[in-house]
Structure 1
Amino acid sequence: MKKLTYLYTIVVITVGMMTGCTPTKVFNLEPFGATNSTVIDGRTIVKESKDSVDVVASFVGLYQDYAVFDVEVFNNTNHDLLVSPKDFRLTPLNEDKTPYFYREQEQVGYLAIDPTEEIIKLDNRMVKEERRLKTAKTVNTILAIAGAVTLVAGATKSSGYREAASVRNTMALGESMLRIGLTKGAVDRSVYYSRMDQYSSQKDVWQQQTFLKNVIAPNSSLRGDVFIRYTSSAPLMQMSYPVGGDDIVIWFERGK
């Protein structure tokens, strides 16, 4: 199955101390109870079917707050099939398949995200960052100019004894305003470039996805990575995909 790009993060939790360490634990979800499964390159791939629609899935790893699954939907019907990443839901459950509660609240699970929607969100955030920096530049320039003007005013004041204190106060005020304007400008630019780099990297990930909202023609399929928020403490997770009035269900258990 398709490999995730280098931008994908497999979350590894390492517990170590200066005096020793324990084996590294990797978060993993293993399918179970599937009617049709196989193991390829150490990864279990399962297939479930209903009403001439097949779903093939395997757990790939983690990216940010999402569990990532390599999914392929086969349309074996005689009509077009509209699919979307948001058709998939991941529901956390207890070992006995009862609802899972976290902090006394039932966890109903999450729908998969739509990469196209994520790209739009990131574009909007980048536009806001551009506007925020532009506004900050204006404010910082005003502060710096005001500080410089105040410094000049203080320097040109009479140096008589009575005005010495006033001159010092004016010069101190001018220096503070100039320093704030210059320092804040540097900080604003640093924050801007950091956020823009982050948004750009995330956008690259979503732009590479192939499982998007689409129509699958009869006897065709669509394959790609599906990203779904997950509950890491839940022992079981149920992936569901609606077909007609029912769901195709694939079960995963947290690796031990």
Structure 2
Amino acid sequence: MKKDNIFCIMALLVGLMSACTSTQRPLQLMPIADHSVVIDGKTVVKDEKDSVKLVVSFNGKFNEYMAFDTEIFNLSSKDMFTSPTHFQLIPLNENMSPIMADSISPIVLEGVEPREKMNDTNYQMALQDKKLKQAKVLNTVLFIGGIVAMASSSGRSSRHDRYSTGMELGNAMVQFASVKRIIDHENYYSNMDRLHNERRTWSEQGFNSNTLSAHTSLRGDVFVPIFKNAKYVQLVYKLPNNEITFLFEQHGE
């Protein structure tokens, strides 16, 4: 095996293992409503039904979710249970008709519970630790295998081409293990930094499943999955016998 071929293979490995980045237009949602106000640069919409009042504004994107700054008011005289999962997002096409999952069912995306997402993130962090440990074992095997191959070749007194091939193979294995080790650690620290930021974001959220006392409110971001191909989206809050809806026009993504 020629040295230039070895370096080409190693370069290809680096390219395949490196993460790719892409640019996207920022996601924007504009409410379609007769009654909306602009507060601190955000367009706010509100509605009230069955002693429940909602005040909502689009607050941007986080990972694969769109965030809505939401305050819910319990206007009744008794306790009320609320949850981010009570929110649904229905993607609509240019005719404002629901985009269908199949011939009879529209696509409906449910809000996520921040506590559950934080637990998922903890699990992903544990997986990253496990993957790095497995990579360390493989890198050690490759490195030792390369050293053994070179040592074995150096002890041969027979044909020169076998000696040269053995040395090149051993050297390639050692270099491969060294490069892979660097890439493994770079990917690990990059992923863990991202996951730490995600866990912090989820832990800071104030809108979790909760019981609201009479005449109290709860405010925080509600996260629902992004549906990129929608022209419009309808945000729905499910009530026992009713629902509150807000219509937005979607741009970007």
TM-score by length of 2: 0.80
2:167 paired residue among 168, 171, 176? 171
**Residue identity matched to 2:28:** F
Show CA shifts across 1:140-183 (max 9, x none): 1111112112212222333xxx4433322322222122122212
Aligned length, in residue pairs: 230
**Residue identity matched to 1:155:** S
Alignment of 1:111-150 (within 5 A): 111-150=110-149
Alignment of 1:1-256 (within 5 A): 13=25, 27-34=28-35, 37-94=36-93, 97-100=96-99, 108-158=107-157, 162-254=158-250
Larger relative strand fraction:
1
Q: Is the 8 A contact 2:27 2:60 kept in 1?
A: no
Cα–Cα, structure 1 residues 56 and 173, in superposed 2: closer, same or farther, change >3 Å? same
DSSP 3-state at the match of 1:68 = strand
Larger relative helix fraction:
2
CA shift for structure 1 position 74: 0.8
TM-score by length of 1: 0.79
Q: Is the 8 A contact 1:32 1:253 kept in 2?
A: no
Q: Is the 8 A contact 1:116 1:206 kept in 2?
A: yes
Q: Percent identity?
A: 32
Show CA shifts across 1:60-93 (max 9, x none): 2223332221101111222221111111011122
DSSP 3-state at the match of 1:89 = strand
CA shift for structure 1 position 94: 4.2
**Residue identity matched to 1:29:** M
**Residue identity matched to 1:224:** G
Tell me how large the CA RMSD over aligned residues is: 2.7
Q: Is the 8 A contact 1:38 1:46 kept in 2?
A: yes
Q: Structure 1 stretches of 5 or more lacking a match?
A: 1-10, 14-24
Question: How many angstroms apart in 1 are the aligned matches of 2:130 and 2:182?
Answer: 16
Question: How many angstroms apart in 1 are the aligned matches of 2:251 and 2:147?
Answer: 63
Q: Is the 8 A contact 1:210 1:223 kept in 2?
A: yes
Question: How many angstroms apart in 2 are the aligned matches of 1:133 and 1:42?
Answer: 44
**Residue identity matched to 2:223:** F
